[in-house]
């Protein structure tokens, strides 16, 4: 008889989950034992890990693990992303799509390969960041732009920038946010100039390419493959077209926020990315300017807004301190971008 235990408070459609597992593993649904654990996922998705226990044809006990990710709205583009990746040289850069089905509510359940990380936090080692940058370079070089699901990202980004500016201006009126005020002129100028800024990011050297779109430490793991290791990129809901520097800046700034050694080796890592694409490894003034403009674009995409809101609603002092540090980092990126743009 089927037995499904549930971790956390995430609702689980027992029948759908059991039916998928039975189909995928070729088992009688009534003989499966499935346990589900909620995972820390994206802001807009429910992510769970399912562990399936059953007997193989020789009556030997077997255990299989996969991930269920429920996406809705624009995030459904992630299904198209996994399908595109599966038929490209980038197939092993992401988890394998095992199956997908639409629910009555209009959401889509993605059933994904579960890939354990060889280490819960490998990012203190600079070589781990190099592996991620090499993977990003492969995506930028090998994933055909026409394979990327359609998304009017620039229109959505412009709206996000307006919302970010409004929230920042409201926060700046509060005593606790006083340090934010000196950055407001830069943020206003860049929000107004965003369409022209975005246009400048794409040029002959940096043509429009396929992007992961959300490269940070929460969306990457390091997998052991025999005696070697490789990076796997998770959460492809923001796959889109744009400047490769948006992914590069997103990753380098993310890792620099958490780890001092990658932060110290920032330029070395940047050059590793360039050489991975067969480009000259010279960080010219023009390239650095484009890099910071890409950072400003990332800030307006929701990262700055998220941390401003979190800073104002943090339940503990530690959470507030962390959010405050992130806000300062993003505002400094915008200030540098403003200096380049001006």
CATH number of the domain to which 256 belongs: 3.90.1200.10
> Residue 252 class from Cβ within 10 Å (0-12 exposed, 13-18 middle, 19+ buried)?
buried
Say if residue 31 is in the same domain as residue 177.
no
pLDDT at 46 over 70: yes
Say if residue 291 is in the same domain as residue 143.
yes
Final residue in a domain of this structure, among 113, 138, 155: 113
* Under 8 Å between Cβ of 238 and 213: yes
Give the pLDDT confidence score for residue 292 in this predicted structure. 98
Residue identified by tokens 């990746």 is 85
Say if residue 108 is in the same domain as residue 46.
yes
Final residue in a domain of this structure, among 84, 113, 142: 113
pLDDT at 33 over 70: yes
pLDDT tens, position by position, 282-298:
999 999 999 999 999 99
Average pLDDT, the chain: 93
Cα separation, 50 vs 71, in Å, equals 17
Q: 226 is in which domain, residue-wise?
A: 126-341
The total number of structural domains in the chain stands at: 2
Residue identified by tokens 């794409």 is 202
Give the pLDDT confidence score for residue 322 in this predicted structure. 95
Cα separation, 324 vs 327, in Å, equals 5
pLDDT tens, position by position, 190-215:
999 999 999 999 988 999 999 999 99
Does 120 map to a domain?
no
Q: Predicted confidence band at 131 (pLDDT cuts at 50, 70, 90)? A: very high
pTM: 0.94
pLDDT at 216 over 90: yes
Closest CA to 38 of 10, 74, 3: 10
Does 60 map to a domain?
yes
pLDDT tens, position by position, 262-276:
999 999 999 999 999
Say if residue 19 is in the same domain as residue 97.
yes
Say if residue 85 is in the same domain as residue 221.
no
Q: Predicted confidence band at 43 (pLDDT cuts at 50, 70, 90)? A: low
Does 118 map to a domain?
no
Say if residue 65 is in the same domain as residue 181.
no
- % of the chain beyond a pLDDT of 70: 95
Between residues 1 and 171, the one the model is more confident about: 171
Between residues 309 and 3, the one the model is more confident about: 309
Task: At 309, list the tokens.
Answer: 């809101």
Say if residue 216 is in the same domain as residue 159.
yes
Q: Predicted confidence band at 8 (pLDDT cuts at 50, 70, 90)? A: very low
Does 66 map to a domain?
yes
Cα separation, 178 vs 28, in Å, equals 62
Say if residue 109 is in the same domain as residue 134.
no
Final residue in a domain of this structure, among 113, 145, 178: 113
pLDDT tens, position by position, 53-80:
999 889 999 999 999 999 999 999 999 9
Q: Beta-strand (E) ranges in the chain?
A: 3-6, 33-38, 46-55, 61-71, 97-102, 108-113, 209-211, 220-225, 228-233, 240-242
Q: Predicted confidence band at 328 (pLDDT cuts at 50, 70, 90)? A: very high
Say if residue 314 is in the same domain as residue 208.
yes
Half-sphere exposure of 320 (CA within 13 A, CB side): 8
Does 121 map to a domain?
no
Closest CA to 123 of 253, 30, 11, 217: 217
3-state SS record for 215-243: CCHHHEEEEEECCEEEEEECCCCCCEEEC
Between residues 7 and 249, the one the model is more confident about: 249
pLDDT tens, position by position, 142-180:
999 999 999 999 999 999 999 999 999 999 999 889 989
pLDDT at 1 over 50: no
Say if residue 259 is in the same domain as residue 322.
yes
Give the pLDDT confidence score for residue 7 in this predicted structure. 47
Cα separation, 308 vs 303, in Å, equals 9
Does 254 map to a domain?
yes
Does 119 map to a domain?
no
Does 334 map to a domain?
yes
Say if residue 194 is in the same domain as residue 284.
yes
Phi-psi region of 207 (alpha: psi -120 to 50; beta: other; left: phi over 0): beta
Q: Predicted confidence band at 41 (pLDDT cuts at 50, 70, 90)? A: low
Give the pLDDT confidence score for residue 42 in this predicted structure. 53
CATH number of the domain to which 20 belongs: 3.30.200
Say if residue 109 is in the same domain as residue 140.
no
């Amino acid at each position: 008889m089927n037995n499904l235990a549930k971790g956390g408070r995430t609702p689980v459609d027992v029948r759908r989950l059991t039916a998928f597992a039975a189909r995928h593993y070729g088992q009688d649904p009534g003989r499966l034992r499935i346990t589900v654990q909620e995972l820390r996922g994206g802001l807009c998705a429910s992510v769970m890990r399912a562990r399936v226990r059953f007997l193989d044809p020789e009556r030997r006990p077997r255990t299989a693990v996969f991930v269920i990710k429920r996406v809705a709205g624009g995030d459904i583009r992630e299904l198209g992303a996994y399908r595109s990746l599966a038929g490209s040289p980038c197939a092993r850069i992401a988890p394998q799509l095992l199956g997908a089905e639409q629910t009555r509510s209009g959401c889509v359940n993605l059933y994904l390969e579960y890939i354990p990380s060889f280490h819960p936090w490998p990012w203190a080692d600079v070589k781990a960041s190099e592996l991620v940058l090499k993977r990003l370079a492969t995506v930028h070089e090998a994933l055909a732009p026409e394979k990327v699901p359609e998304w009017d990202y620039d229109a959505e980004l412009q709206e996000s920038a307006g919302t970010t500016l409004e929230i920042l201006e409201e926060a700046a009126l509060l005593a606790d946010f006083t340090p934010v005020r000196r950055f407001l002129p830069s943020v206003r100028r860049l929000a107004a100039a965003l369409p022209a800024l975005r246009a400048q990011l794409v040029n002959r050297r940096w043509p429009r390419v396929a992007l992961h779109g959300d490269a940070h430490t929460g969306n990457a793991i390091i997998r052991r493959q025999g005696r070697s290791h490789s990076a796997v990129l998770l959460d492809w809901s923001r796959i889109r077209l744009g400047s490769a520097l948006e992914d590069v800046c997103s990753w380098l700034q993310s890792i620099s926020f958490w780890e001092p050694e990658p932060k110290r080796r920032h330029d070395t890592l940047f050059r590793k990315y360039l050489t991975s694409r067969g480009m000259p490894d010279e960080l010219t003034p023009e390239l650095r300017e484009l890099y910071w403009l890409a950072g400003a674009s990332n800030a307006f995409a929701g990262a700055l807004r998220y941390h401003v809101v979190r800073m104002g609603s943090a339940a503990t002092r530690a959470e507030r301190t962390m959010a405050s540090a992130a806000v300062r980092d993003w505002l400094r990126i915008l200030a540098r971008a403003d200096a380049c743009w001006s």
